[in-house]
Amino acid sequence: MNKSGRNLALEVPLIIFAIGVAFVVQMLMTPSKDPTVPHFAEVEKQEKDQEVMNVPVPKVDKEGEIPPLKIPLTYSEELSDLGEKPDWTELDPYQEAIRKDEFLYLLAEVFTVGDTWKNWITIGEDSAVIRTDNQDESQNYELFFQKEGESKKVPRYWRTREELADTPSDRPLAGLRIAIDPGHIGGNYAALEQRRFLLNENAAPVQEGDMTLTVANTLKDQLEALGAIVNLVREKTEPVNPFRVEQYQDYAYSKLEHNKGLSTQESVKREADRMFYRVGEIRARARLVNYAFKPDLVLCIHFNADAQPDPANPVLFEQEHFHMLLNGAYTAGEVEHEDERFIMILKILQGIHQEEAKLANAAATAFVREAGLPPYEYEPNSRRAVNVDGNPYLWARNLIANRLYECPVVYYEPYLMNGKDSYARMQMGDYDGLRYVNGQLRRSIYREYVDAVTEGLVEYYTENAK
């Protein structure tokens, strides 16, 4: 952001000072309180989960309207779940905007696994020819590469670090537009979305959607104190999605029938559940991000969990880990989908990965320094993940959130909800100052999360422009 050179000895104290100012402002705004565990409402009966609730579509204070969220009448194998056919002419402004070697590197080394992309994209001397209709080989889009010695500014709503204005030392994030996406839903929906961990009947349940919202609210205050313009994608433990489970049942039935699955009442309900809380929910959030907020980056806040050997007898794991996810590593089946193929090409043309990788590197460095967690290890030669820049903490994966948000996404996966250390800290709830946990004086796990995210952003946006 600041383009003038800085002496490192001066830069570090400035960062510490800025975070200190944010902490003081937050302390003045928030009175001291006893430790509190985020409210984990008990899950209502399954019948109530299926009720259609009247959730209004968010109002938008901007020109135009958010495109309405739709449920297709029938499933199409040519599209991702609940996907819509893309308009390939939206790529017209990106003609001659990227070099051939850069396009090919990102396509083959970052955004796909394997070489099945060649079934859909043909690289020529001056252009790439991309299939736009899976059923009609004659339907293609030709994307011309950048000519030697030329450059072109591409249209996008987000800004790189270098495009932001200089900022005062006590407000290092001034003018930066940030959307915070607290992962999952929580509350009465935690069991439905399978993000609720109950160790035993004597312990409070751990619900990811509630905890991510706790982090997001505190983080919003801290980032705003440092000058950022912050929007929460979800503000409470309720869906952003205006639809409910039973409204997805026809689509779910259509999908199961198309795939020759067992179309029982139970299987249709299970598939409709997933369409509601995962696919439909993220598609609703993406409309807010891309049309209402238009941020420079999205912070996706999550907690992790390891699979239980025996779900009926849950245990806590000794070894915990952390990693961050960038968009990429589209599988053969994902590249085959017309809408995913389109979004993948759009992300390549907008240069999202380059900014995302630099942001994630700074974010991971700060998080590891604060939390001391080792990296998560994907299986060698994974068919669903690609390592980024040799950093053991950074992995490219094609998740619906980091795909649909049309800007850099900083996607955190720290701590284990069923990890021995983190679980004890989660049971302590949020609190001011230090508490004795697992034989050590520790900050609240939520404050540690917030400080780690904040430090990573401040360090990235105050670093000399590259």
Residue 406 DSSP code: S
* pLDDT tens per residue, range 87-144: 999 999 999 999 999 999 999 999 999 999 999 999 999 999 999 999 999 999 999 9
How does residue 150 score in pLDDT terms, banded at 50, 70 and 90?
confident
pLDDT of amino acid 28: 38
* pLDDT tens per residue, range 344-382: 999 999 999 999 999 999 999 999 999 999 999 998 889
- 29-43, 152-166, 203-217: range with lowest mean pLDDT: 29-43
Residue 382 DSSP code: -
* pLDDT tens per residue, range 9-35: 444 444 444 555 454 444 434 433 333
Residues 6+ apart with CB under 8 A from 432: 27, 32, 33, 444
| pTM summary value | 0.86
pLDDT of amino acid 149: 85
Closest CA to 38 of 239, 206, 235, 234: 206
pLDDT, the chain, mean: 88
How does residue 198 score in pLDDT terms, banded at 50, 70 and 90?
very high
Decide: residue 435, CB within 10 A, 0-12 exposed, 13-18 middle, 19+ buried: middle
pLDDT of amino acid 464: 54
At residue 456's C-alpha, the angle toward residues 174 and 370, to 5°, is 135
Alpha helices for 111-165 (secondary structure H): none
H or E element, residue 140: strand 140-144
420-428 helix and 445-461 helix, angle to the nearest 10 degrees: 100
Domain ranges of the chain: 8-96+152-340+351-461
pLDDT of amino acid 45: 31
pLDDT of amino acid 20: 52
251 and 80 Cβ atoms separated by less than 8 Å: no
The amino acid at residue 220 is: K
Integer Cα distance of 282 and 276 in angstroms: 9
CATH code, residues 8-96+152-340+351-461? 3.40.630.40
pLDDT of amino acid 58: 39
Closest CA to 146 of 188, 202, 183, 94: 94
Residues 6+ apart with CB under 8 A from 197: 205, 206, 207, 305, 314, 417, 418, 423
Cα dist. 49→53, 201, 273, 310, 404 in Å? 9, 22, 10, 26, 26
The amino acid at residue 149 is: G
At residue 161's C-alpha, the angle toward residues 159 and 162, to 5°, is 95
